[in-house]
Amino acid sequence: MIMKKYLATGACGVLAAAVVGLLPASAAAADDPPPRAEASKVELVLDVSGSMRARDIDGASRMSAAKRAFNEVLDSVPGDVDLGIRTLGADYPGEDRKVGCKDTRALYPVGQLDRTEAKTAVGTLSPTGWTPIGPALLGAADDLKEGSGARRIVLITDGEDTCAPLDPCVVARELAAKGVGLVVDTLGLVPDAKTRSQLTCIAGATGGTYTTVQHTKELSGRVKQLVDRAADPVAAPVAQEGAEDCASAPKLKTGLYSDRERFAEHRWYKVDVRPGQELRASVSIGADRAVNKDYGLLIRAVTEQGREIVRGSESGTGRTDALSTGLRYPRPPADDADASDDPEGSGGGVNATEPVCLQVSNSFSAPSSVKTTPGMPLELTIDVVDSPDEPGDIASFGLGRGWWLLGALVVIGLLSGLVWGWVSRWRVAVWRSN
């Protein structure tokens, strides 16, 4: 009986194998892995200028520390990240400044990583020439221009740019102003004050980070973090240019948007809000350059006819990196709304979608020596949700609609006190009688 069972099982296996062999090629292809999704892109930009010969990082040269760190980083790059390497100052050893300031090239092209090939390319480097940071940033931005995924430049240098007037901080601002979603992180190897200031400015202009590095482990650890961050990016803001007035303002939906606003400028945007919905908007503006000590930020929600609905504002004095404010506008449900929603008689009625215009204004100013273009980075968050302030919703239990609840709690507390007092007197009376 057991032998028959084994024979039956074997026959079934042979039959299954035969059936699989007879399946068409298209059925087998269905089991192939899905195509690779668009990868995030990172380009490591390494300073290979002559100053990288200095031996002040863990007893070795800065160049040796960078190579060791790169080898560790290349071993740990996630599979869903396309990585490239660009150098600056790696090829021209001469004194001709014009030639030296063009010395930047892609050492390893941005794409799926071949670790052995990338390590071999890095191993050939030796400290050579100038420090053309501005041209290197432009080259890296061009390397990363294809695709719509997250893009990040990680700049590692031990000195400030030597190729002004192409100011790398201005280059970073212009890259950010293009709205390409490109972030530049900077790492300074044993930096002096000028280098630190320049690298901080570059990072701040694009929403990146600056890190001071004095040890090899710090360098490799930080670069790993930045590469991993590119593999799991936060939502990237969508570039959107605001208008000069409400009538020509672009319509926005729920999402995160970026723009540039000049000093003391007004920008307009428009959002559709239906009855029973709530508009939540917040805005932040980054002071990515020196500004005068007193400043403010305002966001207003107004009707298309110019009637102000609600506003949010913030102000400050002294140094700041960013200033933020926001507002909330709950539009009443259709059955609760009245003619005040349509004061000019636009004909839409209380059930119609209401276009709300958002005006973003700033009162920043800057010393005359500071360049005011491009404008300062602005980030606008829009969220349109079903209004929580409806009857029966827990959110309505605020003091605006919840006085009845407060009154009920007072009455309950009073009655509880009276009952407890009566019980206490009864217990005392019983105790005395015994």
Which residue type sits at 266? Answer: H
* pLDDT at residue 336, as a whole number: 52
Question: What integer pLDDT is reported at residue 10 of this predicted model?
Answer: 44
CATH number of the structural domain 238-386:
2.60.120.380
Q: Decide if pLDDT at 315 tops 70.
A: yes
Q: Is 383 helix (H, G, I), strand (E, B) or coil?
A: strand
pTM metric for this prediction: 0.60
Helix (H) or strand (E) holding 283: strand 277-286
Domain boundary assignment for the chain: 40-231, 238-386
R_g of the chain, CA atoms, integer Å = 32
- CATH number of the 40-231 domain: 3.40.50.410
State how beta strands 308-317 and 277-286 pair.
unpaired
Q: Which residue has the higher pLDDT, 234 or 329?
A: 329
Q: State the alpha helices, DSSP H only, in 253-308.
A: none
Which of 293, 298, 241, 239 is CA-nearest to residue 264? 298
What is the distance between the alpha carbons of residues 341 and 332, in angstroms, rounded to a whole number? 9
DSSP letter (8 states) at residue 90: S
Residue 224 to residue 215: CA distance in whole angstroms: 15
Give CA–CA dist 114/431, Å, rounded.
90
Q: Is the pLDDT of residue 156 over 70?
A: yes
CB burial class (10 A; 0-12, 13-18, 19+) of residue 128? Answer: buried
* 163 beta partners: none
Q: For residue 135, is pLDDT > 70? A: yes
Rounded CA-CA distance 407/413 in Å is 10
pLDDT (tens digit, 9 = 90+) per residue, 325-361?
A: 999 999 988 765 444 444 444 444 555 788 999 999 9
Non-local (6+) Cβ contacts of 76 within 8 A are 224, 227
Backbone angles phi, psi at 366, to 5 degrees: -140, 155
